Every structure is written in C-alpha cells, then in structure tokens.
C-alpha cells in the first residue's frame, strides 16, 4: 500500500523570541523543525497556547520566515484581539501549539519580482523576498505613517531595492503603493508581482499590473476557524462564478481567478 507523505504537522513549539517591533507589532520566533523544513512563502500556520480555553480555536498567522537548518519559524503579528493579546503575554521558554504548514504559497519562478504590500500583509512577502535570493527582488511597502514602516529595515536585508510610500508623506513617496506603481513598472522590467494587504489595494495592484501585462499573485485574508477547509468560514467568490476556500485553495491565487466584486 502506498503511503502518502505527511504535509502538515502539529508541533509543540518552544518560543525563542517574542519581541516588540513597533507599537502593537511583535516578532515571534519558535522552534518548529517539521514545519520550518516544509513551508513555502505564502503559507500560514494556526497557533494557540496549549492552556487556552478562551479563545479555544487557533489563530491564523502568516509565515514571515523559516530556517530549516536551525529548525525555526518566524511569525510577525499585530495585537488586535484576545488571542493575540495572549500571544503578546507569552514568554521565552513557553510552548505554542502550532498546526502547519497550511495553504498554497507563491510561485516564485519569475526572474524579477516586485513585491507589493501594506500593513501586516508585508509579513508573507518578507518570507518570499528571502527565498528569491539570489535573483533580484524589490519591495514596494506602504503604510499610513512612517512609524508603521519598520518593515524597511527587515526588507533591506534581503531586497535589492525597498520603495516606501506613506499616506501622510512622512517617509518615502507621499501616497499609496498603487500611486507609485506606474513609474516603477515603466522602469523595473518586472515579470511578476506578488501582493498582500487590504483587499481594495490588492484589486488596484492587480489592475495596474495587468494593464502593464504583468502576472499578479494575490494573498487573500479572511477569518477562519480550522485552516483546513472543514469549517467553510473562509469561502470567497471566484471569477468563474464558483467559490474557493482561502485556507485550502489559497491563500495565494492568480489575480484573475478572484471575484473582486
């Protein structure tokens, strides 16, 4: 009888780092050798502390980095509710119950990729940028103010160029990522765009890139309970009139397959 290769794991992952990056944003590094050896950029994990009773369900977090040799997994999260408040209170030496890797990730086969993200959507793009090396890769990162763009330093380690936009003009170009795209696309000779962030932003990114003839992959976000396609809570519309489950069929999709209405 043929045995299927196991593709996801539940690990009791030891916390190695849980540090503040910016107001309400933390970098979490855990020892998760099985997941870190198999995950690809764009995938995610479901996380909970073993003693959680409220909330009982795991919380989905994008994978921001993985080191298979060290057996470590990096997650970047923003404190937005009770579950992430509990994560914030976790200490080095505590353990987390982590399920993953889950979902389908990015296709990184392009020779010159432009990564475009806003807010916490930049987390999976950071993982993608690291995996693209040594191929050239650039990131266009947007935020409301310069205080939100701590990401510049993280991407600067792995990207050839980091382009910044802020709504208030306090750092980089004044405006949004979409505002900065036309000039970049005229000069960058990109053959692919990866994007993650607010849905309206991704829709516009896909439209601008598509008009320039550049293939775009989008990473969708949605509330989910199980992360494995059982609960159907993360169903989204597809351009063919059907539906897709973000946790199982995505979270990464070709932009043209998404129903943006």
- What domains can you pick out in the chain, each with its CATH number? 9-102 (2.40.30.10), 113-257 (3.40.50.80)
Q: How high is the pLDDT of residue 4?
A: 40
Beta partners for 142?
118, 165
DSSP collapsed to 3 states, 82-117: HHHHHHHHCCCCCEEEEEEEECECCCCCCCCEEEEE
Confidence of residue 1 (pLDDT cuts 50, 70, 90): very low
**35-83 tens-digit pLDDT:** 999 999 999 999 988 876 666 678 899 999 999 999 999 999 999 988 8
Distance CA 174, CA 167 (A): 6
From the number of C-beta atoms within 10 Å of its C-beta (0-12, 13-18, 19+), residue 88 rates as middle
From the number of C-beta atoms within 10 Å of its C-beta (0-12, 13-18, 19+), residue 240 rates as exposed
Taking the model in full, what pTM does it have?
0.94
Q: How high is the pLDDT of residue 188?
A: 76
Distance of CA 157 to the CA centre of its chain: 17
DSSP line for 22-86: ETTEEEEEEE-HHHHTT--TT-EEEEE-TT--SS-S-EEEEEEEEETTTTEEEEEEE--SHHHHH
């Amino acid at each position: 009888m043929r045995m299927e290769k196991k593709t996801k794991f539940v690990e009791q992952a030891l916390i190695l780092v849980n540090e503040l990056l910016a107001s309400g944003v933390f970098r979490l590094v855990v020892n998760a050798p099985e997941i870190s050896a198999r995950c690809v950029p764009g995938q995610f994990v479901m996380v909970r502390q073993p003693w959680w009773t409220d909330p009982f369900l795991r919380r989905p977090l994008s994978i921001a980095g993985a080191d298979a040799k060290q057996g470590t997994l990096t997650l970047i999260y923003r404190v937005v509710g009770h579950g992430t408040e509990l994560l914030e209170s976790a200490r080095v030496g505590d353990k987390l119950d982590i399920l993953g890797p889950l979902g389908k990730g990015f296709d990184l086969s392009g020779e010159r990729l432009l990564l475009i993200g806003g807010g916490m959507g930049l987390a999976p793009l950071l993982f993608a940028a690291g995996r693209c090396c040594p191929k050239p890769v650039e990131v266009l990162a947007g935020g409301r103010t310069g205080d939100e763009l701590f990401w510049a330093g993280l991407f600067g380690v792995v990207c050839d160029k980091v382009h910044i936009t802020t709504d208030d003009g306090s750092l980089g170009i004044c405006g949004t990522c979409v505002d900065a795209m036309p000039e970049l696309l005229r000069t960058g000779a990109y053959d692919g765009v990866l994007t993650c962030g607010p849905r309206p932003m991704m829709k516009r990114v896909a439209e601008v890139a598509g008009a320039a003839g550049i293939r775009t992959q989008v990473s969708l976000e949605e509330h989910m309970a199980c992360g494995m396609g059982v609960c159907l809570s993360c169903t989204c519309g597809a351009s063919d009139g059907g539906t897709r489950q973000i946790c199982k069929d995505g979270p990464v999709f070709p932009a043209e397959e998404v129903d943006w209405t």
